Chain A
Amino acid sequence: MSAPAPTDLRIITSRFDIEDGHTLAGYERTGGYAGLRRALEMAPADVHGEVRTASLLGRGGAGFPAGVKWGFCPPGVWPRYLVVNGDESEPGTYKDRLLMERDPHQLIEGCLIACYALGLSQCFLYVRGEMAHAQERLAAALNEAYEAGYVGANVLGTEDFSVDITLHWGAGAYIVGEETALIESLEGDRGMPRLKPPYFPASIGLYGKPTIVNNVETLANLPWIVSNGGAAFAAMGADSSTGTRVFAVSGHVATPGVFEVPFGTTTFRDIIFDPRYAGGMRPGRTLKTFIPGGASAPWFFEEHLDLPLEKTTVDQAGSMLGSGAIVVMDDTTDVVKACHNVVRFFARESCGKCTPCREGTSWLEKILCRILSGQGRPQDLDLLMDVCDNISPGIAWPPRQTTICPLGPSAVSPIASALERFRGEFEAYLPATAVAVTTSAGAMS
C-alpha cells in the first residue's frame, strides 16, 4: 500500500506513517482528543461557529459547506442523529478507507465534536461492507474510546454530555453512498434514494428525524479545526475551497497514490505530474484524458491540466471534483472499453427505483457491449446520445435529471465525454458494412 506522499501540510493524514496511530495510545500520544477537550470548553454554538468560519466543504462528492448543512435542522425537532457516510464506493475513490483504517480515533473525535456542537446523542458510523479491515480498526478504536470515557455515558466525566456511536456496516451497494439511500439502508431497508425535497436528511432523515449525514473525511477535519480554529483552516487553500483535501490519483501514472494537498491551489498538472505526487505519465506515454472527480464526473483533457483543484473552477469548466478521485488514462487507452467499463458500473449499481435509470443505464450498457462485440449499427451512436438525453435532459452540466438521484445521469458523463471527443474510436468498432438493423414493431395491440 503506497504511503501518502509527504506534503507541506498534512492535517488528516498526519498519522498515516505512525505505526500505532490507529490505537488509542498512539492517538493520544500525538495530540489526539485535544479537539474534543477544547470543544467541551466552548458553547456548542461556538463550535458550530468555528466550523462555519472554516468554510469546510463536504468531502463526499457534492461539496456543500458542512457548517451550513448543519444549520438546516428544523428548530425544536428532537432527537437528531449523526450518520457518518463511510460507504466509499465511487470508482477511483480511495481515501475514506485509509482514514478509517489508519486513524479511526480521529474520525471518532470528529463525530463527538459534531454531536456536541449540534446536540446529537446518537451517531451511526456506516462503513462500506467490503471494508473488513476498516471495520475492525473502528470497532477496536470504539471499544477503547468507550472504555476510556471518550464515548458513551458522560463523555470525559461531564454530567451532561453523553453520546453513543454505533458501528454499522453495509453489504455491497454503491447507491448507499447517496445520503438518503444510506438512511434507508440504515433503517434496514433496500438502499433506494428518497426524493429531495421533501426528504432532505437535515429535516426528514433517519426515522423521520433531523439527521446530519457527513462524509468520513469531512468529520476527520473537525479535531484540527477546533484545536486550531476555523480561521486557521480557512487560511489554508483557496478562498472558496479551504483547508487541505485528500486526492487519490490512479490509472496510467508513474506513481499512483493518495495525497493530501492544499485545497484549491494545487493544480491538476501538479498532482498528476509533480514527482512528489503521481509523477507523470508512464515512460513514453502521453495523457489522453482524465476523470477529475470520480466515475460520475465528465472527463477532462490536456487543456484542463492547469485548472486548480478548486470546486467552483472545476464546476464551471464542466465537471466536478466530486469525491477526490483522479483517474488518468494515457494514449494506450481504448476509450470505448473505458467508457463501457464506467457505464457498466452504473448499470450494475442502479437501485432500480426510477424507470429511466433502471432501464436506461442497462440499455446503454447493452448497446456499448454490442458495439464492442462488432455488432454495432451506425445509428447506435445517436441512439446512445438520445437515451442519455432521456435520462439527463439536455446532457448539460450540472446535469438535469429525470430521476430521483444522480446515479442515472452519472452514466451519461462518460458517454457524452467520450463520444464528443473520440467519436472516431466508436465508429472504428462499427462493422465496415454495417447496415441498419430492422427495428421490431413496438406497438401494442
Chain B
Amino acid sequence: MSENETVVTITVNGQPVEAQPGEWVIAAAERAGVYIPHFCYHPRMNSVGMCRMCIVDIDTGRGPALQPSCMVAVSEGMVVDTTSDQTRKAQDGVLEFLLLNHPLDCPVCDKGGECPLQDQTMAYGPGESRFVEEKRHFEKPIPVNDLVYLDRERCILCDRCTRFADEVAGDPLITFQDRGDQTQVNTFPDLPFSSYFSGNTVQICPVGALTAVPYRFKARPWDLTEVESTYPNPMGDRVVVQASRDQVLRYQGVDSDAVNWGWLTDKDRFSFESTASDLRLGSPLIRGTPLGRPDPGGSELVETTWRQALALAADAIRAAVEDKGPQSVAVLGGARLTNEDQYAWARLAKGVIGTDNVDAQLDDGLPTDAVLGLPRATINRACTPGGTVVLMAPDPKEEQGTLYLRLRHAVVNDGVQLIELTPRATGLSHLAAHRLHHRPGEAAAVAAALVGGDIDAGPDREVGGVAADALAAAAAALADRADQPITVILGRPSLAEAAGPTVEAAAELMKLAKLLTAGGRPGIAFLPALHRGNVLGALDMGLAPGVLPGRVTLADGAAALAESWGSVPASPGADARGILKAAAGGNIDVLILLGVDPLGDFPDRKLAESAIKGVGTVIASDLFLHPSAAQADIVFPAAGFGERRGTHTNMEGRITRERQIVTSPGTARADWAIASELARLLEADLGFGSPEEVWEEIVRVAQSHRDLSLEAIDTETDGVVVADSSIAFHSPEDATPVPHVDAYSLRLVSSRRMYDRGTLVQHAPSLAGLAAGAVLALNPYDFDRVGVDMGTEVQAISHVGEMFVPVVSDAGVPRGTAAFGYNCPDLDVRALIDNDAVVTDERIQT
C-alpha cells in the first residue's frame, strides 16, 4: 500500500500501533512485534477463522470480546489485548482441544522440532492431559499423490492445504470430508491430488499431517543448516535451501512480495534430489581407451585431472583460433549459470578468444532485441488490480509455475483481465476474459486486429482462426481498461512454429505504446517468459550474438568495453541455429556446451546430431553426462545450485543472490572459475578470484548494472530490478508469410510440460516417473474429419518425418490444430517439426 493512504491507529497491549486500513488485527500486531498464536491463518490465503487459536480480546467500543484476530480488520481506536486472562484461558482451551486427538508421536514425526503445534504446547500447554478417552483413529499415512503423504490423525483441520489447493493452485482435489469430529482431509477415491504445487501444502501444514515423500525421515530440523537463496528458474523464486551433512535435503519457499509469495512448484521443490544424485559428474573427463588411458580418438570418456583437461581444452581452442580464426570457436548455453559464471564465459569467449558465436538460447526463445528492447514489466505490474494481461506465451502453468500462481491470484482476486492470445488453451484459459486461440503462425494478424480495432465483425468471419466477434469483444475490453497497466507475457507459445510470428505480434502490440503515452497512462510493458533458469541473466551478461554485457549491442558497446577487455569481436556472430549449421558444415572446430544438451533439447535434432559430429572438439561443462556431453571430447564437472555463490536475474530483470550451502561433488568447480582457468591458459588473466570479484567487474563495465553493489541487493528484501537498457526493439519489416493449411492436414502446435525428459527431472527419482507419455491431442470435432478414433494409435506424418502416437481428445486444442508435447520422455516430436518452415502441418492416418 502506498504511504499516502490513511493510517489506522489501534492499541495492542497498551502500545499504539499504526495499521493499514483493512489489515487484519493479527497482521498489524505481528508487525508491531506482538505474535498472536495461530494455525489456520495464512497471510496468502483467505482467512477462515476456524482454528480459534488467535482469539484475543478486542474492544471496538463495546467492551472487550474474544474475536479471531485473523478475521477482524483494524478500526480506529480499537483496543487489543493479547495477554488478558480471558484471552489466555481461551487460547489454552483451544490448545487443549487441539491436542485431545493429536497423537503423541512427535519423536517420529518429520515436523517435530519445527511444528507450530509443538511449539505452542511447549510454550503454553498444560503439562498433562485431562483427556482419558480413546483418541480418534484413522489409517496411518495415506498417499494423496506420488509426492505427499497425509496422516489424518495428526491433522488439526486448519483448512490450509485444502484452501491452498482451491484458492491458490486452483486444483481443489483435496477437500474436507465427513463432519464434526470425524472430519478428515482426503481426495476423491482413486483421484489423487494431481497438482504441480502439492509440495506447498507440506510447507504450510502447521503440524506433521502432510509430509513430502522425498524428505520423509531424512533429517531432523535441528540438524539442518540453511541459507536464503534464489532458485535458478526464470521467476527467480526465493527459497531457503536446507542441508545436513553436506547434503541438500530440502527447499522451502520464501514469501517474497514481489516474486513467489512463498510458493514453489513441485518440480523445483523436489529437484534437490538431483543435486545429490550418484550420477553427478565429480571429475573431469577426456577421451580415452577402454582401459582408461587418455587417447584423443578414444571411444570412452575417462577420468583425468583438471590440469590435463584444461590444457587439452586450451590447446584445442588455441589451435582452432590459429587455424580458422576465433569464429571457429562457439559457445552454446550458459542459461543455467549464475550471472557471474555467464559474465566470465562471455568475457572468455568475446574478450579473450574473440568469437561472437555465442548463444544461451537454443532457438527456442526470442531474439535478444525483443527481450532487452521492449519495455519490461515486473510481475507486480502484471498483477496490478484492474489491469490487463495479454498472454502470448507457453502455458505458464507448465513452464513458469509460480508466475501461474501469481497470475491466477490476480485474475481471480484482483480483477485483472486476462486476454489469451495463444494457439491452444492453457492452464489459465478458464479464467481468461477473452480466449483468442489462433491458428499456429497467425498471432500477428490477431494482435494487429486487437490493437487496430479495425475488425470486420460478424458471424462466420475470422482473423487468424479467431472468430471476429470474439476478437472485437477482446479489443473493446482492452480499450476499456486502457487507463490501467497492460502487460504482455511474451514467449514462444509453440515450438512447432518459428519465432517470427510471435515477434511480429509483439510489434503489433507495441503500437499501443504510442497510443497510450497520451494522458500519463501506465501503458504497455512486456514480461519475457523464456525457458531455462537464468536465461535473462545470460542475455544481460552478453551470452548472445551481437550483444555485450550490460544490455548493449556489440556495435554500441564495443568501444567502452574494449578498454576493460582489451578487445571485442569485430562483427556479430551466429545464433544457436547458425552455430550448429556452421558446425555441421565443418566450420566450427571447438564447440563449448555450457549446461546444455542440444541433442536432447535443440528443436532440430538432426541438425544437432550432425553439428556434434562435425565439430573437432566438443567441450562440455555440466552436472550430468547427458547425451550431448557423452559425445564430448572434454567434460568439466560443474558446481550446481546450492554449491555455488552468485547472483541470478529473473524475468523482470530482478537481481537476487544465490548462496552456497554444500560443496560440489568430487572436484567439480564453479563455471566462472573454469572460464578463468581456461583464460589463464590462453594467456589472459581475467583478474578475479571469487564470484564477488566477478560481480565487482560486472558493475564496473556493464552499463545497465553500473554501481549496483551486492550490499544494495542484499538490503532489499526482494533484490533489485535492473531496468536500464540501451538496446532497441526492431519491428520486423515484413510479415512472415504463413501458408494455408490444406483441408486434409492439421497444423502442429508443441509446447513443454512441467515434467519432462529434462536432465534435472530425470535425475530426481521422485520426479522422474511423473512425466506423462506422448499423445497427439485433437479437438473433439476433428476426429470425424480426420477419420480416426479417440484413444487409438495413429500415424502422424509431416514432410520431414512420421511417427506412431496415441491420439486423444482435447477441447483446448482448436479445430484444425494438433497438439503434441515437446519434451515427452518417450516420443520425440522434433522428428515431425520442420525447422526451416514457419509452421509444420501434418496428416494423420490410422
CA of A352 to CA of B159, assembled, Å = 11
Stretch at the interface among A229-237, A304-312, A363-371: A363-371
Cβ of A133 to closest chain B Cβ, rounded Å: 26
Chain B interface residue number, banded: 35 or more
Q: Does A118 contact B (CB under 8 A)?
A: no
Return the contact of A367 from the options B49, B71, B128, B133 (Cβ within 8 A).
B133
Would you call B157 and A352 a contact (CB within 8 A)? yes
Taking a contact as CB atoms under 8 Å apart, the answer to whether B183 and A352 are in contact is yes
Residue pair B132, A358 in contact (C-beta under 8 Å) = no
B181 to A352, Cβ gap below 8 A? yes
A87 to chain B, nearest CB (A): 15
Q: Hey, which chain B residues are within 8 Å of A352, CB to CB?
A: 157, 176, 178-183
**Cβ proximity bits B272-312 to A, threshold 8 Å, 1 near / 0 not:** 00000000000000000000000000000000000000000
Q: Does B225 contact A (CB under 8 A)?
A: no
For residue B156, which residues in chain A have a CB less than 8 angstroms away from its CB? 355
Q: Does B90 sit within 8 A of A, measured CB to CB?
A: yes
> Does the CB pair A359–B181 fall under 8 Å?
yes
- Residue-wise, chain B 82-94 has the 8 Å CB interface mask toward A (1 for contact) of 0000100110111
Residues from chain A with a CB closer than 8 A to the CB of B106 are 444-445
Q: Is residue B121 within 8 Å, beta carbon to beta carbon, of the partner chain?
A: yes
A439, CB-defined interface residue at 8 Å: yes
| In contact, B66 and A441 (Cβ under 8 angstroms) | no
Q: Determine whether B129 belongs to the interface, using a CB cutoff of 8 Å to chain A.
A: yes
Taking the closest CB of chain B, its distance from the CB of A120, in whole angstroms, is 27
A442 at the interface (CB under 8 A from B): yes
Q: Does B97 contact A (CB under 8 A)?
A: yes
Judge if A276 is at the interface, Cβ distance under 8 Å: no
Q: Any chain B CB within 8 A of the CB of A215?
A: no
Is the C-beta of A440 less than 8 angstroms from some C-beta in chain B?
Answer: yes
With contacts A347-B180, A352-B181 taken as known, whether A439 is within 8 angstroms of B129 at the C-beta atoms is yes
B residues 111-132 touching A (CB-CB < 8 Å):
112, 117-118, 121-122, 125-132
With A437-B132, A439-B132, A440-B128 known as contacts, the answer to whether A390 contacts B98 (CB < 8 A) is: no
Taken together as a complex, chains A and B put the C-alpha atoms of A356 and B176 apart, in Å, by 18
A288 within 8 A of B: no
Give which listed residue, A173, A190, A195, contacts B176 with CB less than 8 A: A190
Give chain A nearest CB distance to B634 CB in angstroms.
53
B180 pairs with A362, CB closer than 8 A: yes
Instruction: Write the chain A residue with the least CB distance to B158.
Output: A355
Select one of B50, B98, B125, B130 contacting A359, CB under 8 A.
B98
Contacts of A361 in B (CB 8 A): 180-181
Is A145 an interface residue when CB atoms closer than 8 A count as contact? Answer: no
> Which residues on the A side are within 8 Å of B99 (C-beta)?
442
Given the known A-B contacts A352-B181, A356-B93, are A440 and B50 also in contact in the complex, defined by CB atoms under 8 Å? Answer: no
Q: Is B90 touching A390 in the complex (CB atoms < 8 A)? A: yes
Do the beta carbons of B179 and A173 come within 8 Å of each other? yes
Residue of A349, A400, A404 near B65 (CB, 8 A) is: A400
Cβ contacts under 8 Å, B71 to chain A: 195, 198
Q: How far is the CA of A362 from the CA of B157 in the complex (A)?
A: 16
Question: Are A354 and B100 CB-contacts (below 8 A) given A173-B179, A348-B180, A366-B133?
Answer: no
Q: Kindly list chain B residues whose C-beta atoms are within 8 Å of the C-beta of A440.
A: 128-129, 132
Distance of A173 Cα from B183 Cα, bound (Å): 14
Q: How far is the CA of A360 from the CA of B287 in the complex (A)?
A: 72
| With contact pairs A404-B49, A444-B118 given, residues A355 and B94 touching in the complex (Cβ less than 8 Å) | yes
Q: Which one of A195, A352, A355, A402 has the highest number of Cβ atoms from chain B below 10 Å of its Cβ? A: A355
Nearest B-chain residue to A191, judged by Cβ:
B179
| Interface residues in A329-369 (C-beta closer than 8 Å to B) | 347-356, 358-363, 366-367
Q: Does A403 contact B (CB under 8 A)?
A: yes
Complex contact A362–B179 (CB within 8 A): no
Q: With a CB–CB cut-off of 8 A, which chain A residues contact B55?
A: 402
Q: Within the complex, which residue of A190, A195, A439 is in contact with B49, where a contact is CB–CB below 8 Å?
A: A195
B112 neighbours in A (Cβ, 8 Å): 445
- Give the B-binding residues of A (Cβ under 8 A): 173, 190, 195, 198, 347-356, 358-363, 366-367, 370, 383, 389-391, 393, 400-404, 437, 439-445
Which residues of chain B have a CB within 8 Å of any CB of chain A? Answer: 48-53, 55, 65-66, 68, 71, 86, 89-90, 92-94, 96-101, 104, 106-107, 112, 117-118, 121-122, 125-133, 156-157, 176, 178-183
Instruction: Supply 13 A–B pairs (Cβ within 8 Å), ascending by A.
Output: A190-B179, A347-B180, A352-B178, A352-B179, A352-B181, A355-B51, A359-B100, A359-B181, A363-B97, A366-B133, A383-B130, A440-B132, A441-B104
Given A355-B50, A440-B129, 10 new contacts (CB under 8 A) = A352-B183, A354-B52, A355-B51, A356-B52, A389-B89, A390-B94, A393-B90, A402-B55, A402-B93, A404-B49
